[in-house]
């Protein structure tokens, strides 16, 4: 059964956007971290629930996206 390449690229592309945990994740994380007002523990405290929620939503939406493609 052939798999459409888009079905492999969509989870990878969306998953790459879930980099909320560490300063190197996004440029805005670096800017906030270098000010010294935000620590890594603060970023993990906020980023971990976002990462879990994003993973759950992606897991639930992929069957829907598969039907569209």
- Alpha helices by DSSP H, listed for 1-69, are 5-16, 27-34, 40-68
Entry pTM:
0.62
* Residues near 24 by beta carbon (within 8 Å), at least 6 away in sequence: 30
Average pLDDT, the chain: 80
What's the number of domains the chain is made of? 1
Report if residue 13 sits inside a domain: no
Report if residue 48 sits inside a domain: yes
Report if residue 44 sits inside a domain: yes
62, 11 contact by CB (below 8 A): yes
pLDDT recorded at residue 69: 61
Q: Quote the crossing angle between the two packed helices 40-68 and 5-16, to the nearest 10°.
A: 160
* pLDDT per residue as tens digits for the range 19-44: 777 788 788 888 888 998 888 898 88
16, 47 contact by CB (below 8 A): no
Domain of 26 in residue numbering reads as 22-68
pLDDT recorded at residue 44: 84
């Amino acid at each position: 059964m052939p798999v459409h390449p888009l079905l492999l690229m969509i989870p990878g592309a969306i998953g790459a956007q879930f980099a909320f945990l560490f300063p190197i994740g996004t440029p805005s994380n670096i800017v906030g971290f270098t000010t010294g007002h935000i620590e890594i523990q603060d970023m993990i405290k906020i980023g971990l629930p976002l990462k879990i929620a994003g993973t759950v939503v992606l897991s639930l939406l992929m069957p829907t996206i598969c039907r569209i493609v």
